[in-house]
A = this chain, B = another copy of it.
Amino acid sequence: MAYDILHRVGIGAPVDKVFETLTTLEGNRAWWDANATGDARKGGVLTFFNSHDMKVVEATPGELVKWKITRGCKEWVDTEISFQLVQKQDQTFVLFKHAGWREPVEFMHHCSTKWASFLTSSLKALLETGKGRPAPGEVKIYNGE
Protein backbone atom coordinates (compact mmCIF):
# COMPACT_ATOMS: atom_id res chain seq x y z
CA MET A 1 0.00 0.00 0.00
CA ALA A 2 1.27 3.43 -0.95
CA TYR A 3 -0.11 6.91 -0.55
CA ASP A 4 -0.06 9.78 -3.03
CA ILE A 5 -0.27 13.55 -2.80
CA LEU A 6 -2.41 14.94 -5.64
CA HIS A 7 -2.89 18.50 -6.85
CA ARG A 8 -4.10 20.41 -9.90
CA VAL A 9 -3.59 24.01 -10.93
CA GLY A 10 -4.48 25.90 -14.10
CA ILE A 11 -1.79 28.24 -15.32
CA GLY A 12 -2.34 31.02 -17.82
CA ALA A 13 0.66 30.14 -19.98
CA PRO A 14 1.40 27.90 -22.97
CA VAL A 15 2.28 24.29 -22.18
CA ASP A 16 5.75 24.77 -23.67
CA LYS A 17 6.54 27.50 -21.14
CA VAL A 18 5.43 25.30 -18.24
CA PHE A 19 7.51 22.43 -19.59
CA GLU A 20 10.54 24.70 -20.00
CA THR A 21 10.24 25.89 -16.39
CA LEU A 22 10.20 22.32 -15.10
CA THR A 23 13.06 21.10 -17.28
CA THR A 24 15.62 23.86 -16.77
CA LEU A 25 17.68 24.57 -13.67
CA GLU A 26 16.82 28.26 -13.99
CA GLY A 27 13.11 27.45 -14.12
CA ASN A 28 13.18 25.22 -11.05
CA ARG A 29 15.20 27.83 -9.16
CA ALA A 30 12.51 30.39 -9.93
CA TRP A 31 9.59 28.46 -8.44
CA TRP A 32 10.79 25.81 -5.96
CA ASP A 33 14.29 26.29 -4.56
CA ALA A 34 16.34 29.34 -5.46
CA ASN A 35 19.48 27.39 -4.55
CA ALA A 36 18.82 24.23 -6.58
CA THR A 37 21.72 22.79 -8.53
CA GLY A 38 22.13 20.16 -11.24
CA ASP A 39 20.67 19.25 -14.59
CA ALA A 40 16.89 19.33 -15.15
CA ARG A 41 16.91 17.54 -18.51
CA LYS A 42 15.96 13.89 -18.96
CA GLY A 43 18.58 11.67 -17.38
CA GLY A 44 19.98 14.51 -15.28
CA VAL A 45 19.94 14.88 -11.52
CA LEU A 46 18.60 17.94 -9.74
CA THR A 47 19.52 18.68 -6.14
CA PHE A 48 17.05 20.63 -4.04
CA PHE A 49 17.68 22.11 -0.60
CA ASN A 50 21.25 20.87 -0.82
CA SER A 51 19.99 17.48 0.37
CA HIS A 52 17.47 15.92 -2.00
CA ASP A 53 18.46 14.44 -5.38
CA MET A 54 15.84 13.95 -8.06
CA LYS A 55 16.69 11.93 -11.12
CA VAL A 56 14.75 13.15 -14.15
CA VAL A 57 13.21 9.92 -15.40
CA GLU A 58 10.70 11.43 -17.83
CA ALA A 59 10.65 14.67 -19.75
CA THR A 60 8.26 14.49 -22.69
CA PRO A 61 7.68 17.96 -24.17
CA GLY A 62 4.17 19.23 -23.67
CA GLU A 63 3.12 16.17 -21.69
CA LEU A 64 5.01 14.92 -18.67
CA VAL A 65 7.93 15.53 -16.34
CA LYS A 66 8.77 12.91 -13.72
CA TRP A 67 11.46 12.84 -11.06
CA LYS A 68 12.51 9.92 -8.85
CA ILE A 69 14.03 10.80 -5.50
CA THR A 70 17.35 9.02 -5.13
CA ARG A 71 18.69 10.81 -2.04
CA GLY A 72 17.04 12.74 0.75
CA CYS A 73 14.91 12.25 3.84
CA LYS A 74 13.76 8.68 4.42
CA GLU A 75 10.12 9.53 3.68
CA TRP A 76 11.00 10.82 0.21
CA VAL A 77 13.60 8.32 -1.02
CA ASP A 78 12.18 6.17 -3.85
CA THR A 79 9.02 8.25 -4.14
CA GLU A 80 8.22 9.90 -7.48
CA ILE A 81 7.09 13.41 -8.32
CA SER A 82 5.27 13.93 -11.61
CA PHE A 83 3.82 16.86 -13.48
CA GLN A 84 1.35 15.89 -16.19
CA LEU A 85 0.64 18.81 -18.51
CA VAL A 86 -2.58 19.39 -20.44
CA GLN A 87 -3.23 22.56 -22.38
CA LYS A 88 -6.89 23.55 -22.60
CA GLN A 89 -7.77 26.75 -24.41
CA ASP A 90 -5.80 29.59 -22.81
CA GLN A 91 -4.27 27.70 -19.90
CA THR A 92 -2.15 24.72 -19.01
CA PHE A 93 -3.40 22.35 -16.36
CA VAL A 94 -0.72 20.75 -14.22
CA LEU A 95 -1.75 17.45 -12.66
CA PHE A 96 0.76 16.97 -9.91
CA LYS A 97 1.45 13.73 -8.07
CA HIS A 98 3.98 12.92 -5.36
CA ALA A 99 3.54 9.18 -5.34
CA GLY A 100 4.67 6.25 -3.28
CA TRP A 101 4.67 7.41 0.34
CA ARG A 102 4.91 4.36 2.60
CA GLU A 103 2.78 5.82 5.40
CA PRO A 104 0.37 8.78 5.70
CA VAL A 105 2.56 10.40 8.35
CA GLU A 106 2.16 13.94 9.64
CA PHE A 107 5.06 15.00 7.42
CA MET A 108 2.98 13.88 4.42
CA HIS A 109 0.22 16.26 5.54
CA HIS A 110 2.86 18.99 5.70
CA CYS A 111 4.30 18.24 2.27
CA SER A 112 0.84 18.09 0.68
CA THR A 113 -0.01 21.61 1.82
CA LYS A 114 3.44 22.88 0.97
CA TRP A 115 3.23 21.48 -2.56
CA ALA A 116 -0.13 23.19 -3.10
CA SER A 117 1.35 26.42 -1.88
CA PHE A 118 4.40 26.19 -4.18
CA LEU A 119 2.22 25.27 -7.17
CA THR A 120 -0.29 28.08 -6.70
CA SER A 121 1.74 30.86 -5.09
CA SER A 122 4.94 30.23 -6.97
CA LEU A 123 4.81 28.13 -10.17
CA LYS A 124 1.50 29.64 -11.33
CA ALA A 125 2.54 33.14 -10.28
CA LEU A 126 5.93 32.83 -11.97
CA LEU A 127 4.40 31.87 -15.30
CA GLU A 128 1.61 34.42 -15.17
CA THR A 129 3.41 37.40 -13.68
CA GLY A 130 7.12 36.65 -14.11
CA LYS A 131 7.68 36.39 -10.37
CA GLY A 132 7.61 33.18 -8.32
CA ARG A 133 8.20 32.67 -4.62
CA PRO A 134 10.78 29.89 -4.38
CA ALA A 135 12.34 28.82 -1.07
CA PRO A 136 13.70 30.31 1.07
CA GLY A 137 11.26 33.19 0.43
CA GLU A 138 8.21 30.99 -0.10
CA VAL A 139 4.77 31.46 1.43
CA LYS A 140 4.82 30.08 4.98
CA ILE A 141 2.16 27.68 6.19
CA TYR A 142 3.07 27.93 9.87
CA ASN A 143 3.05 30.87 12.19
CA GLY A 144 6.44 32.49 12.48
CA GLU A 145 8.32 29.94 10.37
- How many A residues touch B, CB cutoff 8 Å? 36
Bound together, the chains give a CA A110 to CA B94 distance in angstroms of: 10
Bound together, the chains give a CA A12 to CA B145 distance in angstroms of: 11
Asked if A74 is at the interface of the complex by the 8 Å CB criterion, the answer is no
Copies in the complex: 2
Bound together, the chains give a CA A116 to CA B104 distance in angstroms of: 17
Interface centre among A6, A11, A104, A117 (most CB of B within 10 A): A6
Q: Which chain B positions have C-beta within 8 A of A5?
A: 6, 112
Asked if A41 is at the interface of the complex by the 8 Å CB criterion, the answer is no
Asked if A20 is at the interface of the complex by the 8 Å CB criterion, the answer is no
Q: Which chain B positions have C-beta within 8 A of A73?
A: none
Per-position contact with B for A92-125: 1 when CB-CB < 8 Å, else 0? Answer: 0101110000001010111011011101100010
Determine if B109 and A7 form an interchain contact, defined as CB atoms under 8 angstroms apart: yes
Bound together, the chains give a CA A120 to CA B119 distance in angstroms of: 13
